[in-house]
Chains A and B, each alone.
Chain A
Amino acid sequence: MVTMDMYPALEVLLLATGAFTLPLIYKLFGRKASMGYALLYSILALILSTKSFLRIYNSNEVITYPIGGWSPPIGIVYVVDKFSGLLGILVSTIMLLIIIYSFNYIRPNDREYLYYTLLLTVEAGMLGCIYSGDAFHLFVMLEVTSLSAYALVAYMRDRRTALRASFKYAVYGGLATTIYFLSIVFLYGSLGTLTIGDAYLKLSNIMISGDRNLLWGATVFAFLSLIAFMYKAAVFPLHFWLPDAHSEAPSSVSALLSGLVVNIGVYGFARFTYTIFHGLPDKGLYGTILLFMGLAGAFSALIGSLMMLIQKDVKRIIAYSTVMNMGYIVMGYSLGTLAGIIASTYHVVTHSIAKSLAFMSCGSLINKTGSRRVDDLIGAGRVYKKAGIPFAISLLTLAGLPPLGVFISEYLLVGSIIKSRAWLYLAFFIASYISSTIVYLRLLYDICIKPFHGEKKLITGDKEANILLVLIILSILCIITGLLSGLVLNKLIIPSSKDLWYYYNYIKTIKEIFINI
C-alpha cells in the first residue's frame, strides 16, 4: 500500500503563495505585518515538514503525491523518503532561525519586504528540489532557488562589489542550470522518462537488452547533471563563485547560502547517484561517477583549506571553509558505502548548523565594528561577548573539537574512508584538516582572546533580542549534535541514510503508482 500525503506539495505551494502575497501585505499593513507574515509562513513550513517526516518515520514508507492526480511517468510526482524528509526539516528549521535573525539584522528600509519575499522563495525552491521525484521539476525548482539566491546576494545594491559578485554567480549559475537542462534533454532522449525512479527502471532494462547507444545517452546525462550539481555545491573546479558571493552578501544571506543552498547540489548528486545509477548490473558507469566526484571532493577539500590560510577577510575565510566542507561531504557520498553515506549525511546536518552560526555571529560582530578584515576585528569577540561566545563555539565546532557536532561527523567520515581503504582520500582529508584547524584556531585567538584595540562603540537603540535568541539556539544545537550524537545518529541519521542506500524502497513506491497503459 502506498501512502499518499499532500503535506510536501502543500508546503512548497504554501511558501510560494506566502512569498507572492507578502508585498501586498506590506503595502496594506506596513513593515511589521509583512515581517510577521514571513515568520508565520516559515513556522507553517517547519510544522508541515516535521509532520511529513514523522509520518514517513512512523510508517516506514515512502510518501508520494502525484500533482494534479497524474501518476508518473506522465505527471510530476513528489516522492519523500526519510533522507528527503530529514533535509526538509533541516532547511525549514534553519530558515526559520534566519528569518528571526533578520528582524534585527536587516536595517529598516523601503525594500526590506523584498528581502523576506526572496527568503520565502528560496525556501520554497529548496524544499521543491528536495521533495521532487521528477528531474524536470527539480530543474524548475533549482532555477527558483538560484534566481532568488542571486538576487539576495545583490540585496545591498549600494555596495558595488556585491553587484559584481552577484553577476559572477548569476551568469555562471545560468550556464550551470542550462547545462542541467541539457542533461535532461539527454535523459529524455535516451531513457524516455523524466521521473527519477522510472529512469532507474528504464536504465536497468537497457542494461539487460544491451543497447549501447541509449547507454551512451544516459552516461552523457549523468556527467552533465553532475557538472551542474558540482557548480551548485561549489566543488573544486567550479567553486570560484562561492567566496565572492558568500562574502559580499548580507551575513544572514551568507548563512543561508553556505548552510543550505549548497546542500541542494549535494542532495542532487546523492539522489541521482544512489537512486538511478546505484545497483546497475554494469558497475562501470556507477564506479566512474563515484571516482569522478570523489576526486573532485578531495581536491575541493584541499584547495578550500589552503585558500583559507591566505585570506584576510573573516567572511572569505568562512566561505572557503564551506568549499572545504562540501569537499568532505562529496568525498563521503562518493565512497559508495553505507558508512560513507551516514558520515556525510551527519556532516551535512552538523556543518549546516555550525556554518550558519558562524556567519550569523560574525555578521553581528561585523555590524558592531564596521569592518570585515580580521585585523580590524581583533579582540572584538571579547568586547561584544553576546556575539563573541557563539562565534567561538562555531569556530571550535568547525575545527572539530571533540564533544561538538562536527567532530563526530568527521570521525565517522575518517572511519568510513579507512574502512573502504581509500588512502588517497585519507591523505587529502588529513592535509586539509590540519591546515583548516590552524586557520580556525588562529581566528579564534585573534577575535575572541586577544585584547581589543579600537574604541568600544556603544550603538544605542540597537535591538538584539532576536539575534541573541537565534545564536543561543544554534549554539545549543551545535552542542546537542555532539553530546547526544548517539541518539541523533540512531534516531535520525542512520534511518535516513539507509533510505538513500536501499533504493528499492523508493523504486517500489514509484512502481506501485505507475499508470498502466
Chain B
Amino acid sequence: MSLTNILLIYIYFIIFATGGLAIYGIISKNNLIKKIIALTIFGDVVNSLIIFIGYRLVPKPLPPILPSLNPDKALYKLYVMSSVDPLPQALVITAIVINVAVIAFLVFLVVRIYNSYGSIEYDELIRIDRGGST
C-alpha cells in the first residue's frame, strides 16, 4: 500500500468520523447553540467532501475557463486533460451561502427563545411548556 492510498483512507476516515460526530451532536446535545454548532460542522464536512471529490493532481494546471466562445474539440481535450473540475467549487459556494442563511435564521430563533423562555436547554423548554399548559 502506497503512502497516497494511506493518506486517502485517512482523509476519508476523518471526514466520515467528523460527519458522524456532527449528526450525533445535532441529535443528542441539549443546548440549542451546540445543536447549531454541530449543524455547521456537518455542513463543513459535506463541503470538504465535495471539494475532495473534485480534487485532481495535474502537472501543469490551466484555469477552467474556455478561452473562446466556439471552442473546437482539441481545446476541449486540452481543457479536460489539464484543468481542475470547477463544478464542485461552484456547488460549495452555493451551499455555503445557503448554510449562512439557515444558521442566521436559527441563531435569531435562539435569541427569541432565550428572551421568552429564559433558557436555551431543550428539555428545560419542554418542562416550562408543560408547566405552563397544565
Chain A residues near B (Cβ < 8 Å): 136, 140, 143, 147, 150-151, 154, 157-158, 160-161, 163-164, 166-167, 170-172, 174-175, 177-178, 181-182, 184-185, 188-189, 194, 517
Contact = CB atoms under 8 A, between A and B. Distances in A.
Contacts of B32: 167, 171
Nearest to B91: A136
Given A154-B109, A181-B95, A189 B53 contact: yes
A173 to B, nearest CB: 8
Contacts of A151: 105
A178 B102 CA distance: 11
Nearest to A158: B116
B102 A143 contact: yes
Interface in B25-39: 26, 32, 35-36, 39
A163 B113 contact: yes
A171 B53 contact: no
B3 to A, nearest CB: 22
A182 B106 contact: no
A399 B116 CA distance: 39
A366 to B, nearest CB: 16
Given A171-B39, A175-B42, A188 B50 contact: yes
B106 A167 contact: yes
A178 B46 contact: yes
Nearest to A136: B91
B26 A170 contact: no
A143 B98 contact: yes
A172 B26 contact: yes
A182 B23 CA distance: 13
Contacts of A175: 23, 26, 39, 42
B53 A188 contact: yes
B106 A171 contact: yes
B53 A147 contact: no
Contact of A167 (B43, B99, B110): B110
A143 B94 CA distance: 11
Nearest to A142: B98
Given A171-B35, A185-B49, A188-B87, A160 B117 contact: yes
A174 B87 CA distance: 23
A164 B130 CA distance: 13
Contacts of A188: 50, 53, 87-88, 91
A501 B101 CA distance: 37
A221 to B, nearest CB: 12
Interface in B89-133: 91, 94-95, 98-99, 101-102, 105-106, 109-110, 112-113, 116-117, 125-126, 129
B116 to A, nearest CB: 4
Interface string B11-29: 0000000010001001000
Nearest to B110: A167
Contacts of B10: none
Nearest to A182: B46
A261 to B, nearest CB: 16
A178 B39 contact: yes
A151 B39 CA distance: 18
Contacts of A185: 46, 49-50, 53
Contacts of A182: 19, 46, 49
A163 B109 contact: yes
A204 B36 CA distance: 40
Interface in B67-98: 73, 76, 87-88, 91, 94-95, 98
B11 to A, nearest CB: 14
B42 to A, nearest CB: 6
B120 to A, nearest CB: 10
A166 B32 CA distance: 12
Interface centre among A136, A174, A194 (most CB of B within 10 A): A174
Nearest to A173: B102
Contacts of A160: 113, 116-117, 129
Given A140-B94, A167-B109, A174-B102, A181 B35 contact: no
Contacts of B95: 181
B36 A171 contact: yes
Contacts of B76: 517
Given A175-B23, A185-B50, A170 B113 contact: no
A185 B53 CA distance: 8
B113 A174 contact: no
Nearest to B44: A178
Contacts of B101: 143, 147
A150 B105 contact: yes
Nearest to B125: A164
25 contacts: A136-B91, A147-B101, A150-B105, A160-B117, A163-B112, A163-B116, A164-B129, A167-B106, A167-B109, A170-B106, A171-B26, A171-B39, A174-B106, A175-B39, A177-B98, A177-B102, A178-B46, A181-B46, A182-B49, A184-B91, A185-B50, A188-B50, A188-B87, A189-B53, A517-B76
Nearest to B95: A181
Contacts of B99: 174, 178
B39 A174 contact: yes
A484 B39 CA distance: 48
Contacts of B88: 188
A194 B54 CA distance: 14
A167 B73 CA distance: 52
Given A161-B129, A188-B53, A166 B109 contact: yes
Contacts of A174: 39, 43, 99, 102, 106
Interface centre among A170, A184, A185 (most CB of B within 10 A): A185
B127 to A, nearest CB: 12
Contacts of A163: 109, 112-113, 116
A104 to B, nearest CB: 27
A67 to B, nearest CB: 14
A163 to B, nearest CB: 5
Nearest to A180: B46
Interface centre among A172, A175, A177 (most CB of B within 10 A): A175
